[in-house]
Amino acid sequence: MSIAFQIVVCAGIVPDPLQTLEPVATETGPSLKNEMLLPAVLDPWASHALYEAANLARNQAGSKVWLVSLGQKAKLQQVLMTVAQKVPFELVALDGPASGFSESAEVAAVLAEAIRAIPGLDKSKLLVFGGWESASRGAGATMQMVGERLGIVNQFQGVDELKVAADGSLEILERIEGGKYQVSKCTGAPVVLGWATGNLPEPKNNPQIGMVNMRTVMPALQKAKPVELAGEGLSFASVTLPKQLRETKIVKDKSPDDIAKEIVEWIRK
Amino acid sequence: MNKQPQAERQRMEADIVCVGFGPATAGFLATLSTQLLNSDGTPVVESAVTPGLPPQVLCYERADDIGFGVSGVVTKARALRATFPDLDRAQIPMATPVDEEKVLYLLDPHGASRRSTTLCLADTFLRAFRWMLPFEQHALKLPWTPPFLHKHGGMVLSLGQFMQWVGTQVQSAGTVQIWPGTPASQVLIEKDTVVGIRLLDQGVDKGGNPSGGFTPGMDIHAALTVVGDGPVGSIGQQLDAHFDVPARHQKRDWAVGMKFVVDLPEGSPLKPGTVLHTFGYPEPEIFGFLYVHPDRVASLGIFVPSWFDSPVRTAYRYLQHWMLHPYLWRYLQGGKLRSWGAKTLSESGRRGEPHLVGNGFARIGEGSGSTNVLTGSGVDEAWATGAQLAEAVFELLQAKKPFSKQNLEDTYVRRRRASWVEREGRVAEKSRDGFQRGVVRGLIGMALAGMTNGQLTLGGEPVQPWKRIPSFENYYRDRTAPGEIVRLRDECETKGVPLHSVLMDRVGWPAIPFDGQLLVSHQDALLLGGKVQAPGGYADHVFFLHPELCQECGTKICIELCSGQAITPGENGVPNFDREKCVHCGACLWNCSQANPENPECMNVAFRAGTGGLHSAEN
């Protein structure tokens, strides 16, 4: 018999990874230069979690996916017009900063509170998904703290695969140190899964899914709860980007070996 | 031939479907979206496909986000203010009021450009008498500019940022939806009535053949299809092919605009709201612009027109030479590239107006011939046409009348014909004809038309763009031996690179002193400035219709002009197209020296619906 899960995906927004980022100091702490001008996307790690959640919900009859997203409302709305075409979900929007410079514990508290407030949530069916880290900051701590606040002790990070047995028990493939995997089993929900890349491709755009999602997305955005993150006790000694040396060359008449040699010589320089 | 798998093509019903989210569609949606609901949330008019709800209004945009792929602008903003009377500029990043406008004639400091005898004499005169003229750094500031060129009282905008802002405003009403990353590939026509659009197939190979995860593009059926897909949009092209264009109308004048958004150096004396327009350099036919935004940011670039009779229409290299002109470089040196992009502009204006309406469809914006080619204004006009259509549509919805050709004529076209867009468009219609026979004649013609309300113009019937492209051998006959051109062409083809750069070096253009900040390679402009990419699983959108014509073509201006270096020399003389580098400027559509045998108004390059492109929202 299929288990009907309640899958809550925590997914923030980050600047489109193609953008050029430059940290700057502001009165309220570090920030990204022109962050409000930059286009945003759903955090790539959390996107994998969302696609896995939708896939699981499709295969487990009666399951449902919620997307809990903290971000500046206008940006969130824009990002969702792309995301909402891909998989079905119900949105829980939180209007607040999505900066990589936010305190993970504060973000976790806000997300946990929002999850708790979802009407009809049954903890015995609850799977909390998220990225094992964020493209804006790879602290890898937020999902663990969300789980802790929800009282969920079964937590897995760096997840690439989740299998559900007929009895509702879960088998989880996790990335561990040394490029190896670990297979874990637990009796079932509730669990927290911090996803790595998973195995699914990005779903195709589907206008019908978009139309269905929009019935909840726009109302959710309109009643998005404003969130303030105080950032108390948080300070950054310095914020810098790795130094880049850039040199572009178009090569069409060289063998891969020659190209590799040239790159090695360039790196050595 | 590949066999099409039996995948089911889905169908969805809407009341109104819009193609392309540019300024025109934004004007349409901004005007319509606020009228569809009463203050208590009940619909003012009901949807025909979902009774009890307001009309289902969907908009599909090709680019991956709603602010991508558009250009910086200086505008009088008359139509924008009519829609948003309380418009607060502070809400729109990079917006600022126009403060100072200058028009500059740039002389050539290197002697590399091709100037007519008239211009050479004028240059000699200006240099000789520069002490008594507003002349500095090889540039003459025109002491007077005609009023029709002024944008005083208007705004400098980043159209990308503006579109993001408008998108938020429009969708917050909850009555319309804008879906980016979703190109419309085909217009659906039944018995000369447009019944909707087909979205692009996903999960196909380069040639459009089904491959892994094939998902046929959905058919969106709607009572009204609003076409605002710009000057090179696929749906607009198909409508022109099906319904033809009105008699004596043609789309023969084009330009490609290429721009940088630049962080100006510390201590820059350029004030926000400064607007510079230039002509004369790097070639007399190339016009330039520089608009200053707040916070030491500038949008700057050039326009390369289809009447520039050269096989070397490389916008990118010419843009670098333009930036390096002494008058401009003193402001730009030490600056840093933030964003880069390119776009085709329809320069035919009202003469290029297609059938504005038909059963089930209406056309708005640049692709509908709204651009004013005299004042160089397009955004305001495009917005106005969208707003006019929205008023017409609301009138028809309230009256429960169908979107027939006649009803749309009586409402939308009537409004448009009675508006300032039409009045000023008629003044501008023939104002640029003089450029068909030279720059000086063109400038005089513009001044005449502008100052006589279009009563006087200097003639010069536009010809098909393919007729205006000389061979390299002919263009460089006074400067390079034909045998040398053949040798250089062979070398470049072997390397897979365009020919223009070596030829420009050969005739005296100085090397670009790359600084890795502002003067960067074309490839780096794509990556750093445009952040160009294309998602997998979609077909190529640029095709060479008759490869045998490419094999015969000696010019291959498509390669030289390509804004993204996406078209390169290929095997057997047929160019390669790399979808992942295309910025969708559409310039290849009109930069081809080979006429399409089926339709001499078109050329041998097909530019269809496609995904990807620019990923910068600052243009």
pLDDT digit string, tens, across residues B348-398: 999 999 999 999 999 999 999 999 999 999 999 999 999 999 999 999 999
Q: Do A248 and B12 touch (CB under 8 A)?
A: no
Is the N-terminal amide bond of B282 cis, ω within 30° of 0? yes
Q: B507-534 pLDDT, tens per residue?
A: 999 999 999 899 999 999 998 888 899 9
CA distances from B511 to B9, B184, B285, B520 (A): 54, 42, 21, 12
B576 touches chain A (CB under 8 A): no
- pLDDT at residue A250, rounded to an integer: 66
Of B12, B537, B615, the CB nearest to A207: B12
Q: Are the CB atoms for B609 and B199 separated by under 8 Å? A: no
CA separation for the pair B86, B277 (Å, rounded): 29
Q: Are the CB atoms for A13 and A79 separated by under 8 Å? A: yes
- Highest-pLDDT range among A236-245, B81-90, B317-326: B317-326
Q: Is the pLDDT of residue A29 over 90?
A: no
A109 touches chain B (CB under 8 A): no
Q: What is the DSSP letter of B191?
A: T
Q: What is the mean pLDDT of residues B120-142?
A: 96
A268 touches chain B (CB under 8 A): no
Q: Do B58 and A20 touch (CB under 8 A)?
A: no
Which residues neighbour A223 within 8 Å (Cβ) at sequence distance 6 or greater?
Answer: A93
Reported as type and span, the H/E element at residue B100 is: strand B100-106
A151 touches chain B (CB under 8 A): no
Long-range contacts of B422-427 (CB under 8 A, 24+ apart): B422/B350, B424/B372, B424/B374, B424/B375, B424/B381, B425/B349, B425/B350, B425/B369, B425/B370, B425/B372, B425/B381, B426/B350, B426/B454, B427/B374, B427/B453, B427/B454
Give residue B296's region: left, alpha or beta (phi > 0; psi -120 to 50).
left
Q: Is the pLDDT of residue B68 over 80?
A: yes
Q: Is the pLDDT of residue B5 over 60?
A: no
Q: How many CB atoms lie within 10 A of CB A262?
A: 13
Closest chain A C-alpha to B559 CA, distance in angstroms: 15
Q: Are the CB atoms for B562 and B577 separated by under 8 Å? A: no
Q: What is the mean pLDDT of residues B151-170?
A: 92
And the tokens for B424? 């000023």
Half-sphere exposure (Cβ direction) of B186: Cα atoms closer than 13 Å: 13
Residues of chain B with C-beta less than 8 angstroms from the C-beta of A246: 516, 524, 528
Nearest residue in A to B218, CA atom:
A207
CA separation for the pair B618, A39 (Å, rounded): 9
Half-sphere exposure (Cβ direction) of B512: Cα atoms closer than 13 Å: 21
Of B58, B67, B527, the CB nearest to A39: B67
User: Where residue B174 falls among pLDDT bands split at 50, 70, 90?
Assistant: confident
CA separation for the pair B316, B320 (Å, rounded): 7
Q: Say which range, A236-250, B139-153, B329-343, B510-524, has the weakest mean pLDDT.
A: A236-250
A179 touches chain B (CB under 8 A): no
Q: Do A37 and B161 touch (CB under 8 A)?
A: yes
And the tokens for A179? 């490029």
Q: Are the CB atoms for B317 and B500 separated by under 8 Å? A: yes
- pLDDT at residue A42, rounded to an integer: 95
Q: Say which range, A99-103, A153-157, A250-254, B108-112, has the weakest mean pLDDT.
A: A250-254
Q: Is the pLDDT of residue B163 over 80?
A: yes
Q: Say which range, A20-34, A97-111, A136-150, B43-57, has the weakest mean pLDDT.
A: A20-34
Of A39, A204, A219, the CB nearest to B202: A204
Nearest residue in A to B179, CA atom:
A81
- pLDDT at residue A209, rounded to an integer: 94
Closest chain B C-alpha to A243 CA, distance in angstroms: 14
Q: A177-216 pLDDT, tens per residue?
A: 888 999 999 999 999 999 999 999 999 999 999 999 998 8
User: Where residue B154 falls among pLDDT bands split at 50, 70, 90?
Assistant: very high
Q: Are the CB atoms for B353 and B231 separated by under 8 Å? A: no
Residues of chain B with C-beta less than 8 angstroms from the C-beta of A42: none
Q: Is the pLDDT of residue B222 over 70?
A: yes
Phi/psi of residue B568, nearest 5 degrees = -135, 165
Of A19, A205, A252, the CB nearest to B495: A252
DSSP tally for chain B: helices H, then strands E:
18, 27
User: Where residue A37 falls among pLDDT bands split at 50, 70, 90?
Assistant: confident
A211 touches chain B (CB under 8 A): yes
Q: Do A19 and B615 touch (CB under 8 A)?
A: yes
Q: Which residue has the higher pLDDT, B543 or A242?
A: B543
B270 touches chain A (CB under 8 A): no
Nearest residue in B to A206, CA atom:
B218
- Longest CA–CA span in chain B (Å) reads 78
Q: What is the mean pLDDT of residues B492-497?
A: 86
Which residues neighbour A110 within 8 Å (Cβ) at sequence distance 6 or greater?
Answer: A70, A94, A96, A227, A229
Q: B292-339 pLDDT, tens per residue?
A: 999 999 999 999 999 999 999 999 999 999 999 999 999 999 999 999
Closest chain B C-alpha to A248 CA, distance in angstroms: 7
Q: What is the mean pLDDT of residues A148-176?
A: 96
Q: Are the CB atoms for B550 and B594 separated by under 8 Å? A: yes
Q: Are the CB atoms for B106 and B50 separated by under 8 Å? A: no
Q: Do A222 and B531 touch (CB under 8 A)?
A: no
B502, amino acid identity: V
To test the contact with chain B by mutation, choose from A13, A19, A20, A33 the residue with the greatest count of B C-beta atoms within 10 A, namely A20
- pLDDT at residue A105, rounded to an integer: 93
Nearest residue in B to A84, CA atom:
B179
Q: Do B168 and A77 touch (CB under 8 A)?
A: yes
Q: What is the mean pLDDT of residues A46-75?
A: 95
Q: Do A19 and B531 touch (CB under 8 A)?
A: yes
Q: What is the CA radius of gyration of chain B?
A: 24
CA separation for the pair B37, B87 (Å, rounded): 22
Of B174, B497, B524, the CB nearest to A248: B524
Q: B438-448 pLDDT, tens per residue?
A: 999 999 999 99
Reported as type and span, the H/E element at residue A186 is: strand A180-186
Above 0.90 for ipTM, yes or no?
A: no
A21 touches chain B (CB under 8 A): no
Q: Is the pLDDT of residue B2 over 60?
A: no
Residues of chain B with C-beta less than 8 angstroms from the C-beta of A16: 65, 531, 615
The structure tokens 């106005």 sit at: B384
Of B178, B202, B516, the CB nearest to A246: B516
Q: What is the mean pLDDT of residues B286-294?
A: 97
Percent of chain B having pLDDT more than 70? 99
And the tokens for B351? 């003469």
User: Where residue B488 falls among pLDDT bands split at 50, 70, 90?
Assistant: very high
And the tokens for B124? 């000699």
Q: Is the pLDDT of residue B103 over 80?
A: yes
Nearest residue in B to A74, CA atom:
B168
- Angle at CA B611, nearest 5°, toward B606 and B617? 120
Percent of chain A having pLDDT more than 70? 98
- pLDDT at residue A151, rounded to an integer: 97
Q: Do B615 and A246 touch (CB under 8 A)?
A: no
Q: Per the confidence metrics, is the pTM higher than 0.95?
A: no
Closest chain B C-alpha to A255 CA, distance in angstroms: 14
How would you write A44-93 as a 3-class SS string? Answer: HHHHHHHHHHHHHHHHCCCCEEEEEEEECHHHHHHHHHHHCCCCCCEEEE
Q: Are the CB atoms for B251 and B245 separated by under 8 Å? A: yes
Q: How many CB atoms lie within 10 A of CB B407?
A: 18
User: Where residue B1 falls among pLDDT bands split at 50, 70, 90?
Assistant: very low
Q: Do B167 and A78 touch (CB under 8 A)?
A: yes
A210 touches chain B (CB under 8 A): yes
- pLDDT at residue B482, rounded to an integer: 87
When the pLDDT of each residue in chain B is averaged and rounded to a whole number, the result is 94
CA distances from B392 to B30, B357, B379 (A): 14, 12, 20
Which residues neighbour B201 within 8 Å (Cβ) at sequence distance 6 or greater?
Answer: B185, B208, B210, B214, B215, B216, B217, B538, B539
Q: What is the mean pLDDT of residues B600-611?
A: 95
- Name the residue among B355, B369, B367, B364 with its Cα closest to residue B387: B364
Residues of chain A with C-beta less than 8 angstroms from the C-beta of B174: 218-219, 222
And the tokens for A233? 């006790």
Binding-face residues of B in 196-225 toward A, CB within 8 A? 199, 202-203, 213, 215, 218, 220
Q: Do B615 and A74 touch (CB under 8 A)?
A: no
Give residue A97's region: left, alpha or beta (phi > 0; psi -120 to 50).
beta
Q: Do A222 and B66 touch (CB under 8 A)?
A: no
To test the contact with chain B by mutation, choose from A22, A81, A85 the residue with the greatest count of B C-beta atoms within 10 A, namely A81
Residues of chain A with C-beta less than 8 angstroms from the C-beta of B220: 207
- pLDDT at residue A230, rounded to an integer: 82
B91 touches chain A (CB under 8 A): no
CA separation for the pair A8, A89 (Å, rounded): 9
